[in-house]
Amino acid sequence: MSADHVSLVDVNNFYVSCERAFDYSLRNRPVVVLSNNDGCVVARSQEAKDLGIATGEPFFKIQRLMDSHNLAVRSSNYELYGDMSARVMELLGRYGTWHEVYSIDESFIGLEGNLEQARSTAAQIRKAIDKTIGVPLCVGVSTTKTLAKLANHIAKHNPGLGGVCVQQLMDQQVLDNILSRVPVTDVWGVGRKSGAKLASMGIETIADLRDADPLVIRKKFSVVMQRTVFELNGQRCIGPVEERADRGQVMFTRSFSTPVRTREAMEEVMSIYAQKAASRLASEGRYASLLTVTAGTSRFAQGESSFPSAQVRLPRPTRDPILLSKLAIAAMADLMHPGMDYVRGGVILSGLSDSPGEKQLDLFDLGDDHDEEEQKNVSSVVQDISARFGAKSIGLGPAGMAQSPSWTMKREHISQRYTTEWDELLEVRA
């Protein structure tokens, strides 16, 4: 990472902003987005926050506000949010000397030029994203990643800055005043437990942590917290964001809207989830060498519980939906207990590579080469159609049914997948 300016770009209320980009009726009104199975609140508009709605609030507790306060409710539209994130990140990459995607709605970007030029570029980024994608964001600019995150925080909470905060251009007295009032738990990387321990040492604000002795902090905590102190003082210590662990695997896990109790229903789950995971592998151009299947009953249910899990080492790296579906079904077949209420399941593909390997010799493989070639051809057709027309355009067995099984995740307030499904595009009428 070069010695240019570090900026943190963060889309405001990302899930809500994605919904508002296509539905203008949601603007200037309270909006919440719900978790899997419409269980609880995972995202809120500012208007919803002003109503006192908290993240994690169960939906049934706020349902009354839909009538009394015109509260809009949306189920999590992962297809829309994922595509909108990809569009934002692609556009952001055009502006920086380097670009690191940190999360679905955050990126670190290196900006060139003097401080005024950096502020100008940050303003251009906001304008370009708003014009071409339609979501609002804030940009924080400073000398380190920790300070850039802090500058972004300041930009979000001070509308007069126009969504851009260049920390070095701020009046030092004003900055010190802010740092002395913001809790230390608002610092990137400081959680509740660390915050409580810091508070016991008299370190309650960001200013306190900035002025703390780095050696004492390292002794009491770790080198990671010491780096945070250095970063708060303008010393760049945090390099490129390490590759996420989930980049080494593809997961398709969901909670069920109704419990799965039979082997037949669980076979449907494993078949569909394995094909979904295979589709993701194909879209990324990768192959898996290890298949993991999981399922589970509710951790809060009384009586006997069951959390079956199994791993299957594949003969060679593959993304073949037929093979993965068969193996997932077989792996779970003898593990589940019919009659028990399974509320979640998943298929995880790991040991990823960019190319398929050579098949290992199986001394007990008595299969017909013709059948294997036929399966290969069918798999290729499924992958090609899925890649061209979307994951729901074709499937094997239950995954090819137009009507979803009764156990699929409940999303009663789902919006359209405006950017990924042809039949759900917005219609413009003269």
Give the per-residue pLDDT at 216: 94
β-strand partners of 10: 106, 138
The average confidence (pLDDT) of the chain is 83
- Mean pLDDT (whole number) for 50-54: 93
Is residue 125 within 8 Å of 9, Cβ to Cβ? yes
Centre a 10 Å sphere on the Cβ of residue 207 and count the other Cβ atoms it contains.
19
Each residue's pLDDT tens digit, 69-87: 999 999 988 778 878 888 8
- For the four alpha carbons of 388, 392, 397 and 402, in that order, the dihedral sign comes to negative
Range from 37-51, 115-129, 342-356 that averages highest in pLDDT:
115-129
Residue 248 has pLDDT above 70, yes or no: no
When mean pLDDT is compared over 173-187, 280-294, 346-360, the highest value belongs to 173-187
The answer to whether the CB of 321 falls within 8 A of the CB of 278 is yes
Tokens of 264: 């037949």
CB 184 within 8 A of CB 208: yes
- 401-415 pLDDT, tens digit per residue, is 455 565 555 677 888
Residue 374 is predicted with a pLDDT of 44
Helix, coil or strand: residue 93: coil
Confidence category of residue 217, pLDDT binned at 50, 70, 90: very high
Residues paired with residue 213 on neighbouring β-strands, in sequence order: none
Average pLDDT rounded to a whole number, residues 161-188? 93
Structure confidence at residue 329 (pLDDT): 94
Please tell me the least confidently modeled range out of 112-121, 144-153, 272-281: 272-281
The pLDDT of residue 241 is: 56
pLDDT value of position 346: 86
